Amino acid sequence: MDTQIVRGSVELLADIAEFTEPSDLCAFRLTCRAIYQITLRHFAQTFLHTLKTDLSPKSFARIEEAANNEVFRLCVRKLEITRNRDGYWGPRCTDATLNEASIQAWRDVMKRLVNCRSFEVRNSTYTTPHCGSDGITFDEATGLVLKAIATGSIPMESFSIDIAKYRSRPHQDSLTQFTITTFGITAFSHLKELSLVIPDAEAETIGWMAKLIQCAKSLRKLTILFGWKCESTSLLSQISSVGCLPELQELTFSRMSIQSSAALGMFLYSIRNSLRAATFSFVQLEDGGWRSILRELGGGGYRLDSLILHRILELDKFLSFGKIPEYPLAERSLDRKLYRPLQFCFVRQQDVGFSYSGPDLWRVVQRVAALIELS
C-alpha cells in the first residue's frame, strides 16, 4: 500500500511538472531519481525540439547521442546548422573516403531522428561575387550534411538558408567549396515551408531556386530575401505558371528589384486562389508599378486576408502612405530581417508602411492604390 501511495504521488508530481516553466522543470527534476526518470519524456519534448550543430566532431557527437536515445530521438523536430565560436565550419577534409564516411554518418543519424523534418542553415554560407561565379556556394562541411539530407531520402517539410554576408575572398579561397546547384532538387518535394535569405542573384542560383520551388508542390509558406536591389524578374517568370504552387498561402518578398510589375503581377495571379497573406519589404518596381499591383489585388479576384507593405519603392523613391493613417504598419509584427536599416535612408516612420487584415481587404487596397504617393 505504501509503495502504491509513493508511486501515485510521483505520478501526480510528474503531471504537475508538465505545467512548470522550463527553468523550474530543470530544478524540479533534480529533487529525486524517480521524478528525474518519470519526467524524462516531458523534458525531452520541452528542450529537444531543436538541435543545433556547428558541424564540429564534438557537436556531431552530441547529436549522435540524442539520435541513439529512444526517448530523445523521437522529440527532435528541427536541426539548426550554425557557425561555431571561431566562425568556421568544422575541419577541412580533402580525403574523399573520409568525406563519404562523414556523409554516411549524418545519414545514419538523421534516419534515427525520425521526426526531424525541419532544417535551418544560418550564417553559414558565402558567395563568390567575382566574374564567372556560379552563384551561392557552401563550405565543404555544410555541403556534406546537405548531401546526406539529399541522398538519405529525408522528407523535409521546412528548409531555411540564411546568408548573413559575403565572406572575404581570402577566406573563400582557403576552403573547399560545395556548389549549391548540386544539391538535389527532389529532396525538397515534401516542403511546406521554404525560406531563402540570399544576397545574390547569379543566374545559376536563380535557376536552382526556381527548380526547387517548382518541385515543392505542397509549399504553403515561401519567404525570399535577396541582397538589396537584386534583380528578381527572371525568378518570377520561371515560377509563374498556373499550378506551380497550388497550396501557397503565405508569401514574403524582401530586398528585391523587379524590372516590370507585370512579372510580379503574373506570379501573384498564378497563386491567387490559394494566397491568404502577403508581405513586401524593400521591393522596387518601375514608375507606377505598385499602383498597378494594388489595383489588381483590389480587383476582387484574390482571397487575401492580410497585406503588409513596408518601405516599397518606385524608381529609387519610397512610397508614402501618409494619406491613409488609419492603417499604420506595426513593425513589431515583421521579421527583423525584413527591415534591416539601409544606410542614408531617412524616411518619416509614419509614412513608410501599410498593413491590413480583414474581410474587406480588397476595398482597402483599392483606396491605398488611389492615395499612395512618392515620398
**CA 97/CA 126 separation, integer angstroms:** 25
**CA 297/CA 269 separation, integer angstroms:** 9
Report whether pLDDT(307) > 50: yes
Which is more confidently placed, 117 or 20? 117
Bridge partner residues of 138 (DSSP): 178
pLDDT at 20: 63
Residue 113, all three cell numbers:
531522428
pLDDT at 87: 44
Report whether pLDDT(16) > 70: no
Instruction: Tell me if residue 121 falls in helix, strand or coil.
Output: strand
**CA 154/CA 323 separation, integer angstroms:** 50
What band does 265 get if pLDDT is binned at 50, 70 and 90? Answer: very high
User: Helices 57-67 and 96-112: crossing angle, nearest 10°?
Assistant: 30
pLDDT at 9: 60
HSE-up of residue 347 (Cα within 13 Å, Cβ side): 24
Residue 258, all three cell numbers:
523587379
Residue 340, all three cell numbers:
534591416
Report whether pLDDT(167) > 80: no
Report whether pLDDT(157) > 90: yes
Report whether pLDDT(337) > 80: no
Neighbours of 307 (CB within 10 A): 23
Instruction: Look at 99-103, 156-160, 178-182 and tell me which has the smallest mean pLDDT.
Output: 178-182
**CA 33/CA 102 separation, integer angstroms:** 37
How much is the average pLDDT of 124-136?
53
Report whether pLDDT(287) > 60: yes
For 47-96, write each residue's pLDDT tens digit: 678 888 877 788 888 899 989 988 888 888 999 887 655 444 444 444 55
User: Which residues are CB-contacts of 366 (< 8 A; sequence separation ≥ 6)?
Assistant: 294, 295, 298
How much is the average pLDDT of 137-165?
78
- Percent of all residues in the chain with a pLDDT value above 70, rounded to a whole number: 68
pLDDT at 81: 84
For 253-263, write each residue's pLDDT tens digit: 998 999 889 99
CA dihedral 356, 353, 330, 364 (to 10 degrees): -10
How much is the average pLDDT of 178-182?
67
**% helix / strand / coil in the chain, to the nearest 5?**
40, 20, 40
Mean pLDDT of the residues in the chain: 78
- pTM value? 0.82
* Mean pLDDT comparison of 88-102, 134-148, 320-334, highest-scoring range: 320-334
